[in-house]
Chain A
Amino acid sequence: MTLLIAVLSGFLLAPFAPVIHRALGRFSGWLIAVLPASLAALFLLLAGRGEGVVVESHAWMPGLGANLDLRLDGLSLLMATLIAGIGAAIFVYAGGYLAGHRHLGRIYAYLLMFMGSMLGVVLADNLIVLFVFWELTSVSSYLLIGFEHADAKARKSALQALLVTGLGGLAILAGALLLGSAAGEMRISQLSLHREAIREGGLYVPIVLLLVFGAFTKSAQFPFHFWLPSAMAAPTPVSAYLHSSTMVKAGIYLLARLTPALGDTALWNGLLTWFGAATMVVGAWLAFRQTVMKLILAYSTVSALGTIVMALGVGTTYAVEAAMVFLLAHAFYKGALFMVAGAIDHETGEKDVTRVGGLRRSMPLLAGAGVLAALSMAGVPPLFGFIAKELTIKAALPDAGVGREGYALAGVVVVSAALGVAAALRVGVAPFFGVKRETKREAHEPPASLLLGPGVLALLGLGAAVLPGALATPLVEPAASAALGGPAQPQVALWHGLNLALALSAGALALGVALFRGQWAIVGLAEPASRPLDAIGPSRLYEHGLAALLGFADAQTRVLQSGSLRRYAFITFGVIVLAVGATFVLRRPLDALPDIGDARPYEIGLVLLILVGAWFTAVARNRLAAIAGLGLVGYGIAIMFVLFGAPDLALTQVCIETLAVVLLVLVFYMLPDFRSFSTRPQKVRDVLVALAGGAAMAGLVLVVADHQPDMTVSDYYAANSYGLAHGRNVVNVILVDFRALDTLGEIVVLVVAAVGVYALMKLDPTTREGASAGGERGGEG
């Protein structure tokens, strides 16, 4: 139960977050942070016991092979600890950052939901459960990005993130189902036992393509990276949490999780290595071009995610270890830098790096956190980022598992790292040094709530490097061995001796400092070349694709939903006539007219009555007469039901007919006079369609009468109506018991329809005055 409660606790607390906030005011963030903090402690405690793997299974939908299987192993532990630990810092930070915001309580609720979803993703041991939580992270991310929903840009960005990651989610679902059927197993931890079956089942390629696609969209890999910078429309606590340290790592988590089952093939390694490398360098360059702090950080996050994916793609033991170390290091420094950038914005009102400088005097503590985190990102010893960078370079270099292309890969890593150094200095160091600049608000040290998160994370980046045995290895080693499906011994140490990787790391640092100094000159030179690239970038493709989709929806709506009742009727009956007619021509079900027995005189009389009603409706010269004619048809059919032993149907028909007459009278009352707009050919056409429609329906009825349907289901209902459901009226028993779910769906549809009618009648701006004069709502008496 422990893991299940851990996953659900966020969802359970979420509805109460606004209440807690209302009760506690400015200290609410600190209190809510207690939940994630204790969850982080819980995970560490659980992992510390015994073999460090906790497994739970709860029945959920056993018939569908979807059980709530949860599992905490090394990889889950790394992710879950990050999610809960950074989450605790984020709640405190959000309380300070959004202090006084009208909807602070609401963002706590969204963040709690997100945390629960994310824990679900990393603790799920069942493909379906993983998918469900995966989708929940997309949904809660949508709510968080669109938090400032009055802002059109925030809404657009939220939708973009939802569509891109939602598309990926569909691919994950398809991939997970294929994988589950190929392996004959939905438990993720058992998949690697079936790796041969998966590989040889013929579905390996689609499985990999679908799952990698889904993971790439979530982890913002090129060419799906564009949603992440747009997502910066979210408040900074959200960016720091979702878009640097947790949600964007869900894709990486999935790839690492599936490596034992799917990895180690040319397809897998090639896809991950080269898309990862492309993302790494594209992201680094785009970060280099930016001046808005959050965008620099967003693009450099894209770059870092690419680095991790590339390392997973290289796939050697060493590279997977490097990926895990890098993941942890990045979570520390990037989370800290986002919170620093947010704090600068909060205290000075400036978001652009070119508009701030010399802030160290007015905010020394924040400057300390920013510089420490930035140096870690730049890969300066003795910080954790230095270790991560050296390991990553070494992982790319030619080795037992990497061929000569390793030199090219290492080169790309070094260039990206150098660009990353420049970005790190620009965001984390430059604002605090140099000439003091005038800012929108007088700069001063932010409150404790804004300092705690960045401070702790920046210090962790130092501590993990100085005391790796205490702070880094216990998390990284089990994670790497889980991702490898075998033992791992990451060499988390500051000093590995003099070697090529160390030299390249130092080279990247030096190159990065040079790039930082010449940044604006280089960007200015490159601008003419990058502008045409922007025009064909994936973000434009997304916009064009979305516009095309909406355009298509618009066009086909205009054709099909003309708003003309006659046209609807024409299309509907035309299709029926064509479809039924074609079947009659092809299958000839009615070669001989079936024997329907002798008609009794009163039955013939009734039919004649109905025919007269129909004729009268068609030729009536005013609406009331037409309605009366239609009513005659309807009541005639009701009597028919009575004659043939269907009293329930007859009762319903009478009621419906009565109300229909009332409704028609009310509607027609509003219409202009009855006039004929049809030309003669149109009338002929309409008559033909009507007659053909009638003939098709009559033919269908005859076929049904002639046909002996399978009565198994009907017989079952009739036989068990009283025994099982205690009712003698089979029709009603079917409605409220045997098929109650259908009925439930139908009454929901009815209510939705009523809401629609209400909206049409009451909310139309042209009639609003009339409606309010007629009494807006009941209940006033």
Chain B
Amino acid sequence: MNSTILRTATRYLLPLLLVFSIVVMLQGHNKPGGGFIGGLIGAAGFALHGMAFGPRATRTALRADLVVVMALGLAFALVAGSLALASGQPFLSGLWVSVPFPGFGEVKVGTPLVFDIGVYFVVIGVVMTIVLSLLEENA
């Protein structure tokens, strides 16, 4: 689609959507959100970019091959699960550590978050694979 309005809007919307998607993913453990929703929001941002600038530009903007993104996501999820195995607990048990974070006090970081990041990447990779394949078909 060759629309100046869409392109200009996308330039500002894409970074916003991406930041928003990460926030949604990170806050998911306590508030509405999570890796799945965050991934969908991020993918929606890239889909918008794809429609505005064309799939080739989007592939460039993504920087990484989508197969790598999906593999990375699965790897995150598997590593998050395997950490528990390494400490002698059943696969995918949640492990938590408290990390002091200046200004926030203690921040709890756990393997479920790592797992959720994996979900986030997988969702982006999958949705964008489908969207870009279809876009390229239309091109």
Contact = CB atoms under 8 A, between A and B. Distances in A.
Interface in A58-80: none
Interface bracket on A: 35 or more
B36 to A, nearest CB: 7
B131 interface: yes
A744 B92 contact: yes
Interface stretch (A347-355, A597-605, A735-743): A735-743
27 contacts: A648-B34, A651-B33, A651-B37, A652-B40, A655-B44, A663-B130, A666-B131, A670-B138, A726-B108, A728-B30, A729-B30, A735-B36, A735-B116, A736-B115, A736-B119, A737-B94, A743-B77, A747-B77, A750-B122, A751-B74, A754-B130, A755-B129, A761-B133, A761-B134, A762-B133, A775-B59, A777-B65
Contacts of B118: 747
B70 A754 contact: yes
A659 B56 contact: no
A647 interface: yes
Contacts of A750: 122-123, 126
Interface string B21-51: 0001000111111111100110110010001
A741 B115 CA distance: 11
Nearest to A760: B133
Interface stretch (A232-240, A364-372, A499-507, A766-774): A766-774
B32 A648 contact: yes
B73 A747 contact: yes
Given A732-B116, A751-B73, A778-B64, 8 more contacts: A670-B138, A728-B30, A731-B34, A733-B29, A740-B115, A748-B74, A754-B130, A781-B56
**Which 4 residue pairs of A and B lie closest in terms of their CB atoms, listed nearest first?**
A778-B59, A781-B60, A774-B136, A655-B40
A736 B115 CA distance: 6
A380 B108 CA distance: 79
Contacts of A648: 32-34, 37
Given A652-B36, A744-B81, A669 B65 contact: no
Contacts of B135: 666
Interface string B95-139: 010000000000010101101101100110111011111111111
B29 A778 contact: no
A568 interface: no
B62 interface: yes
Contacts of B108: 726
A761 B123 contact: no
Contacts of A770: 137
A725 interface: yes
Contacts of B132: 778
A726 B29 CA distance: 8
Nearest to B123: A750
A654 to B, nearest CB: 9
A729 B31 contact: yes
A239 to B, nearest CB: 39
A715 B133 CA distance: 43
Contacts of A546: none
A656 interface: yes
Contacts of B28: 729, 732, 736
B134 A663 contact: yes
Contacts of A771: 136-137
Interface of B: 24, 28-37, 40-41, 43-44, 47, 51, 55-56, 59-60, 62, 64-66, 68, 70, 73-74, 77-78, 81, 91-92, 94, 96, 108, 110, 112-113, 115-116, 118-119, 122-123, 125-127, 129-139
Nearest to B118: A747
Contact of B77 (A651, A744, A773, A778): A744
B32 A647 contact: yes
A19 interface: no
Given A729-B34, A736-B34, A747 B62 contact: no
A757 interface: yes
A757 B129 contact: yes
Contacts of B94: 724-726, 737
A751 B73 CA distance: 10
A725 B112 CA distance: 9
B40 A663 contact: no
Given A747-B122, A767-B137, A736 B130 contact: no
Mostly, the B contact residues are helix
A775 B55 contact: yes
A781 to B, nearest CB: 3
Contact of A747 (B112, B119, B127, B134): B119
Contacts of A748: 74
A753 interface: yes
Contacts of B33: 648, 651, 729, 732
A771 B64 CA distance: 19
Given A652-B40, A727-B112, A751 B126 contact: yes
A528 interface: no
A562 interface: no
A35 B51 CA distance: 59
A758 interface: yes
A726 B126 contact: no
A667 interface: yes
B65 A659 contact: no
Contacts of B77: 743-744, 747
B27 to A, nearest CB: 8
Contacts of B91: 741
Contacts of A57: none
Contacts of B122: 747, 750-751
B16 to A, nearest CB: 15
A90 B21 CA distance: 58
Contacts of A740: 81, 92, 112, 115
A761 B66 CA distance: 15
Contacts of A670: 137-138
A250 B37 CA distance: 52
Contacts of B36: 652, 735
Interface in A596-615: none
B126 A753 contact: yes
Contacts of A751: 70, 73-74, 122, 125-126
Contacts of B130: 663, 754, 757
Interface string A626-656: 0000000000000000000001101110011
A569 interface: no
Contacts of B127: 659
B119 A659 contact: no
Contact of A666 (B32, B66, B78, B134): B134
A779 interface: yes
A662 B51 contact: yes
A658 interface: yes
Nearest to A744: B77
Nearest to B90: A741
Interface in A112-135: none
B137 A774 contact: yes
Nearest to B32: A647
B5 to A, nearest CB: 17
A448 to B, nearest CB: 46
Nearest to A735: B34
